[in-house]
Every structure is written in C-alpha cells, then in structure tokens.
Amino acid sequence: MMTKPKRALTIAGSASGGSAGIQADIKTFQEFDVYGMSVVTAIVGRHPITGKNVHPMTIEAIEAQFYTAKEQIGFDAIKTGMLFSKEVIETVAKLLADADTEHIVVDPVMVGKLKSKLLKDDAIEALKEKLLPRAAVITPNMYEASILLDDRPLDTLDDLKRAAIDLHALGPSCVLVKGGRLDGPAVDVLYDGETLTTLTAPRIDTKNTSGAGCSYSAAIAANLAKGKTIQEAVQIAKSFITTAISHSFTYTGIAGPTYHAAERKYGEAHAIKVEAEKI
C-alpha cells in the first residue's frame, strides 16, 4: 500500500525570488517528503518605479486559503512566517485555534535580508499576545528576540540564554533563539521551560543566506509533522540549514538563496554539537 506523506502548511508571504517565504517553505517541506501547502498573507516584490514592495492579501483571501487547504488535505504541522499586520495576526491566531494540530512553529519574521519591512510596528503587541502563546516553538533571531523583549540589547551567548527563558514566559511551549549574528560558530539556544539546550554548528562564511530563517523553521515544522520531538526536529533542521547554507549560491551578486537540495544531493549532514543544562 502506498504510504501517504505527512502534511505541513505555511502561512507566510510570497517571496518572488524563491529563496524565502512560502517558496522556501514548500521547497523545504518537499526535501523532508512532507506534503506542502500554503496560505499567502502578502506578496513581496519591489516595483521598479513605484518602490512598493509589500502587496497584502485581504483577510477574506487568507481565510479562504486556510479553509480550502484544511478541507482538502488537513494539517500535521503549521508554520507561520511573514504576517505583516495586526489584523492578519489576529486572523491567523483564530485560524490556528481551528487547525486540529498543536505542531505550530511561529517564526516572528520582522524584516527581510534586503531591508523590506515585513511586520508593522503596531503589530508587535498582537504577535506577543495572540500568537506566541499558541506556538509549540517560536524561532526568533537575535534582532527579533530583542524587539520582543522591548529592545533589550542582546550581545552574548548568556544574553541569548536569558532571552530564551524570558520569551518562554510569553507562552510558547519552547523558544529557539538563533545566534547567527554572534561572532564565532553558529550557536542557537532552545528552552522548553526546564532545559536549556545549546546547539552549535560551524559558521559558514557567506552572504548567501537569503531565506535561511524561513527554511530552518519550515524544516522544524516538517519534522514535527513526522512525529519528531521539538528537540529532535530542531537538531535535524539545524543540520539541514547548515548544509543548505554551505552550498548556497548567488546568480546576480545580491545575497542569494540557500540550496535546499544540498543535504539530499550531496548526502552531507552536519554534526550539531548539543549541550543541555537544567534551569
């Protein structure tokens, strides 16, 4: 009998360059043999004359996409990415309550690599109050973690650990703070309310990391869909994204995409060093 793949939904923006947003998410789901679906919240692409770069979808269109995917396929995991406005965040919080899965990854996307503003300032409170408490895991980078903690400066690994503990108090089951912007190896910190786990991978020296955060959180969602624990899913996802970054490329000189197929194509997984401490 044919085995049916597990199912994952991304609720995020469309990044027409294909490196980030829903395009990155669906490519990532596919790499894990997870059936990918999308709810597009906005279309990102800068018009050469008007300069307009965010083209939001209506609330009705967002709800329509969600319920179509739910009725047609159903969900084993969901990730959220670019949500842009307070109204969309409030809508998505309601939809998640109606999703029949607890495997929810919230990537609190705020700005893109090319400095596009992907979340309005007045949406931060709604994100904190309505969305973060629904998450199995949230995946802020250092910049996003700092904003969620009222602009707290985050400069060291100890600052990241403290941030993960304090963000946990906002309600998600787990917090993954990504320390990619620290000097030295690529260190992320995972906190589940009891144990602080530090995950370390080698730093890959490249500017071509467009969509790395999107792809990382999508890989976590794909592995939650497949029944992995959060700790296992994060470890698998970090290896996946490290390999994808180590084979990233650029066609134009502009910060290019990570290579989603790299781990499969080259059979090259990165060993992640994992250290745990009870808090």
Segment interacting with ligand PXL (CB under 6 A) among 111-119, 147-155, 216-224, 263-271 = 111-119
Q: Which is nearer to ligand PXL, 114 or 165 (CB)?
A: 114
Judged by CB under 6 A, which of 13, 140, 179, 257 binds ligand PXL? 13
Judged by CB under 6 A, which of 20, 147, 149, 190 binds ligand PXL? 20
Here's the x/- map for ligand PXL, 158-197, by CB under 6 A: it reads as ----------------------------------------
Judged by CB under 6 A, which of 36, 180, 211, 256 binds ligand PXL? 211
Name the residue among 25, 19, 5 with its Cα closest to residue 220.
25
Contact in structure between 10 and 77 (CB atoms under 8 Å) = no
Q: Which is nearer to ligand PXL, 91 or 215 (CB)?
A: 215
Determine if 116 is a binding residue for ligand PXL (CB under 6 A): yes
Determine if 12 is a binding residue for ligand PXL (CB under 6 A): yes
Segment interacting with ligand PXL (CB under 6 A) among 56-64, 92-100, 106-114, 165-173 = 106-114
Judged by CB under 6 A, which of 8, 89, 99, 109 binds ligand PXL? 109
Name the residue among 188, 211, 97 with its Cα closest to residue 140.
188
Determine if 262 is a binding residue for ligand PXL (CB under 6 A): no
Judged by CB under 6 A, which of 36, 56, 81, 108 binds ligand PXL? 81
Which positions touch ligand PXL (CB under 6 A)?
A: 12-13, 15, 20-21, 44, 81-82, 109, 112-113, 116, 118, 211, 213-214
